[in-house]
Amino acid sequence: MRNRNTAPRKPRTPAQGAGSPQRPRHREGGGYARGEHTRRRLLDAGIELFAELGYERASTRAIARRAGVSLPALQYYFGGKEGLHRACAEYITEDVRARLGPAAERVRMALGRDDLTRAELLDLLRAVVEPFLEGLAMERPESWALFFARAQGEQNAAFDAIFQQIGGRLLTLVAEIIGRILARPAASPEVAIRAVIIVGQLTLVRRARPLILRALGWPDFDGERLQTLKEVIWRAIASSLR
């Protein structure tokens, strides 16, 4: 009935600085076991629901409920909804990066030789592209890939972080291999465009997932069908590089 404050307040913005409020105020050295547990539960529930419903539809209440914790716990650990979302993105990014890193490093080493045949270069491309396709889009819980797709579609701040960590490295690596195959400088527009196209094709598997499934009349990507999909995509990529 009565307003305590006549000035128009903005309670939607977090009280803490806009920097990174996701860490609670507890001491650095601290870290109770129970706290870390609910923190993890919130991350899992957040990834699931953000992926399932998108950022807006996933309410903090629903996330807290699925995590089995109370609503203020979300504020306490992540500073707010946006903080949780960013934390989810970082959580996923770190895992994918760890998964993609070794393969990328091996490929980068192999690229040191300058007498690689076309077949060898194609193998290298596959070596860097396949873990990406499997890791990001398939192996991990579907919610992870969906989270990524949502972040990209919604143009969240989370997308920038994810892209710079993963997409950027992948793109430069792919461009380098393609440049070799096409015998053009990796920095040339043609090579860069084709690198983007190829990487884009992979993400398409997730982004246009409902479209693909419906076009094929498939209920889902499972087992053999997934194998077929990967094989066809790869053949298309390989045959396009001449």
Partner DNA sequence: CCAATTTTCTATCGATTGATATAAATCTGT
Partner DNA sequence: ACAGATTTATATCAATCGATAGAAAATTGG
Question: Can you give the binding site for DNA, defined by CB under 7 A?
Answer: 3-5, 8-15, 24-27, 30-38, 56, 58-62, 69-77, 80-82
- Select 28 or 222, whichever has its Cβ closest to a copy of itself: 222
Q: Smaller CB distance to a copy of itself: residue 16 or 172? A: 172
Q: Which long-range contacts (CB under 8 A, 24 or more apart) does 161-168 make?
A: 161/86, 161/89, 161/90, 161/93, 162/89, 162/92, 162/93, 165/93, 165/96, 165/97, 166/93, 166/96, 166/97, 166/100, 166/136, 167/199
190 makes contact with a copy of itself (CB under 8 A): yes
Site string for a copy of itself, 41-80 (x = CB under 8 A): -------------x-xx-----------------------
Alpha carbon separation from 136 to 2, 96, 97, 124, 179 (Å, rounded): 52, 7, 10, 18, 25
- Total residues contacting a copy of itself by CB under 8 A comes to 46
Span near a copy of itself by CB under 8 A; candidates 37-45, 61-69, 96-104, 227-235: 227-235
Q: Does 240 bind a copy of itself (CB under 8 A)?
A: yes
> 127 to each of 100, 108, 174, how far by Cα in Å?
10, 11, 10
Choose among a copy of itself, DNA, none what residue 149 binds, the Cβ cut-off being 5 to 8 Å by kind. Answer: a copy of itself
Options 69-77, 94-102, 114-122, 163-171: segment touching a copy of itself (CB under 8 A) = 163-171
Residue 33 binding partner per list a copy of itself, DNA, none, with a CB distance cut-off of 5 to 8 Å that depends on partner kind: DNA
Which of a copy of itself, DNA, none lies near 4, with the C-beta cut-off 5 to 8 A by kind? DNA
- Is residue 192 at the binding interface for a copy of itself, with CB under 8 A as the rule? yes
Nearer to a copy of itself, 69 or 96 (CB): 96
The listed partner (DNA, a copy of itself, none) that binds 26, CB under 5 to 8 Å by sort, is DNA
Distance (Å, whole) CA 75 – CA 60: 9
Interface residues with a copy of itself (CB under 8 A) are 54, 56-57, 149-150, 152-155, 159, 163, 167-168, 171, 175, 189-190, 192-197, 200-201, 203-204, 207-208, 210-212, 214-216, 225, 228-229, 232-233, 236-237, 239-242
